[in-house]
Amino acid sequence: MTLACAFGVRQAEIDDALAGFARSARPWSFILFREACVSRAQVTKLCADLRHAAGHDAIIYIDQEGGRVARMRGPNWPAWPAAARYGELYAKDAALGLEAARLGYRLIAHELKQVGVNADYAPVLDVPVDGAHDIIGDRAFSRDPDAIAALGRAALNGLREGGVLGCIKHMPGHGRANADSHLSLPTVREGRNELGADFAPFRALNDAEAAMTAHIVFAAIDPERPATHSPIVIEDVIRRDIGFSGLLASDDLDMKALEGPLQTKAEKAFAAGCDLVLQCTGKVADMEQVAKGARTLAGASLERAERAAKVARTAAQPFDAAAGWWRLRALLGPAIRAPV
């Protein structure tokens, strides 16, 4: 049995403390952060060591959206464009925008799969609005829900073709947040009718294998609890209204939008309906606290996790990466930096 957790790794090599915890806890997943991504050979070894320590074929995630959210960076990795670049092209020529989005995320998948990373916390399906905090900004494809849905589908397909599991985020929508949930708890006060546009891209991609929650209070739905801790938001909105039936992961429990000790944060997320929780400091002591409030994967959550893992463990389709980079530069311009 595996623990329904994804733990952040912020070190280039596994040490005795992390190996011992992984061996005893057997988490379903690990998440690589910038400090864990030094070189291709090093990441390949780290992924193998993490799986060996956990005693099973653990899913290895990363946040590799492109633009400012990229854990793998130069000089050892190429620089992918922010999602908004695809949206700009889509606004001029929808077909070319969709081609670029699929290709860009296919190229991300190519790099990830080569080093043993088989899951990506992308694409972002949030719909930014005027006056919101800029934490989403150019991480969003567009401000048009239909364009976001179309480009998100293309991105998700690109990842799948590369044998990488995607994760749509931040459900049911982070685009109206009036604060950065890493630092404080945002509150969205619009009613259900106004929120329909925010939910629309997630509804269009409700067949995605995995999704991540938003640490946001939706006052018109549950004024007391952020979505991650709200059974009303998860059951009524995410599962029923949006119709999402895949693996639902919390956003990082360490974010300051959530109050209380880590064990309690984990317990509340599971009680609300999350299948999996994330904890990202990279500190074993923090992992141990989350593990105390966590569950092993079982029942419907296990079934969802197995469906998601099937994508991550699928071999990549044949792909000419050099030709792909050439085409992406032709679509988005010479500023796109291909691998050297």
Alpha-carbon dihedral angle through residues 116, 205, 105, 68, given to the nearest 10 degrees: -90
Active-site residue, 251 included: yes
What are the C-alpha distances in Å from 172 to residues 119, 227, 232, 285, 321?
Answer: 21, 8, 12, 31, 34
Q: What is the C-alpha separation between 327 and 312, in angstroms, rounded? A: 26
Is 318 exposed, middle or buried, given 0-12, 13-18 or 19+ CB atoms closer than 10 A? exposed
Three-state secondary-structure class, residue 283? coil
Q: How far is CA 298 from the centre of its chain?
A: 22
CA atoms within 13 A on the CB side of 185: 17
Whether the Cβ atoms of residue 280 and residue 5 lie closer than 8 Å to each other: no
Q: What is the C-alpha separation between 94 and 44, in angstroms, rounded? A: 37
Q: What is the C-alpha separation between 107 and 331, in angstroms, rounded? A: 14
251, 252, 254, 275: the active-site residue? 251
Q: What are phi and psi of 66, to 5 degrees?
A: 105, 165
Q: Residue 152 forms beta bridges with which residues?
A: none
Active-site residue, 180 included: no
Whether the Cβ atoms of residue 182 and residue 256 lie closer than 8 Å to each other: yes
Active site residues: 182, 251
